[in-house]
Chain A
């Protein structure tokens, strides 16, 4: 699978959600999962030595939210091609549309269905 051996960055302020998403990502063979608690932490991880293959980010986070993160990643020459999935909640269609307009490749809604998450990632990493 194209998504095997991939490095994922999970950006989420809630430890429970972070762990849930990371747990789902362990389905990918040899997946390496990096976690960040907000946008600023994510940018630090992105500028580190690990090449990130896909970013999963929540929208509402303290310090720097997911939309700002998407925007900054897309403006960065080195990072702009990394696929981004935004995690949205119901009733946040505006955030979802803004996220996609800023350059996110896909979105998933809470409560996250592991099978849906895996399918979305597989599709993005196969393209």
Chain B
């Protein structure tokens, strides 16, 4: 009986031993599997991190490129804005020039042309005190034919100077515009013979007179760069307009004289 129990116990013990061994094997296998999985997992996350790092670097680079492009576009915008202002200004000047020349050539009446020149000098050049002088080719004398702002510069209504004399005479002789140098020791003091500006009215190289500026309107401090250009172009248009209107009035006068003479002849015959 005792033997039978001992055998059963032994059998049970053996089964327990086998089971324990099997458990140990399984344990071993699982530990091995765990170790494998841990290794795989570690390798996987390293790849992911690397991939993400690469992506971050790419995005940073792209960001830098976009920021750089943005800066360039900003600069381009500023350039365009400045250019736009310049074009606008140019456009205004051209429009002014167009209107002025259109008006100057819209009539052949001498007094009307002079009136238009005066309006242009006031409204486009911005002059408060100025004189328009014409050259008498017989006497070689420059004389005022129209003026504005006599209270500011007394005497401008009756300027009379010989070709080649003083600033005005020299401008008429050389055909070169004169602009006062305000940096001189006398502070660029304006006098009757030393104006702010004197621009010849010339047709090609033939000077027929001058536009002489003595004072600008209060809101206009000085001549701007474009004023010089505008002034010269206007003076050229004014010269042809004055010259043709003068010729027209002369021819009208001659025509009237001839007509009267013919009338007289036909009446007497």
Contacts and interface: CB of A to CB of B under 8 A. Distances in A.
A115 B92 contact: yes
A109 B123 contact: no
Interface string A86-127: 000111000000000000000001111111000000000000
Taking chain B's interface residues, is the majority helix, strand, or loop, or is none over half, making it mixed?
Answer: helix
Nearest to B121: A111
Contacts of B89: 115
A91 B149 CA distance: 12
Nearest to B92: A114
Nearest to A19: B99
A110 B99 contact: no
A115 B88 contact: yes
Contacts of B99: 16, 19-20, 23
Interface stretch (B64-72, B158-166, B190-198, B216-224): B216-224
Interface string B214-234: 000111100000000000000
Contacts of A5: none
B65 to A, nearest CB: 37
A113 B95 CA distance: 12
A97 to B, nearest CB: 15
Contact of A110 (B95, B98, B106, B123): B123
B116 to A, nearest CB: 6
Nearest to B125: A111
B23 to A, nearest CB: 90
B34 to A, nearest CB: 76
Interface string A50-81: 00000000000000000000000000000000
Given A19-B99, A20-B99, A111-B125, A91 B120 contact: no
A16 B96 CA distance: 10
Interface string A40-51: 000000000000
A30 interface: no
B239 interface: no
Contact of B120 (A16, A90, A112): A16
A31 to B, nearest CB: 14
Contact of B123 (A20, A23, A24, A91): A20
Nearest to A15: B103
Contact of A16 (B100, B218, B219): B100
Given A16-B100, A111-B122, A90 B218 contact: yes
A15 B120 CA distance: 11
Contacts of A110: 122-123, 126, 217
The 10 closest A-B pairs by CB, nearest first: A111-B126, A90-B217, A90-B218, A114-B92, A16-B103, A16-B119, A19-B99, A23-B95, A20-B99, A111-B123
Interface of B: 88-89, 92, 95-96, 98-100, 102-103, 106, 116, 119-120, 122-126, 128, 217-220
7 contacts: A17-B119, A20-B124, A109-B217, A110-B122, A111-B125, A114-B95, A115-B92
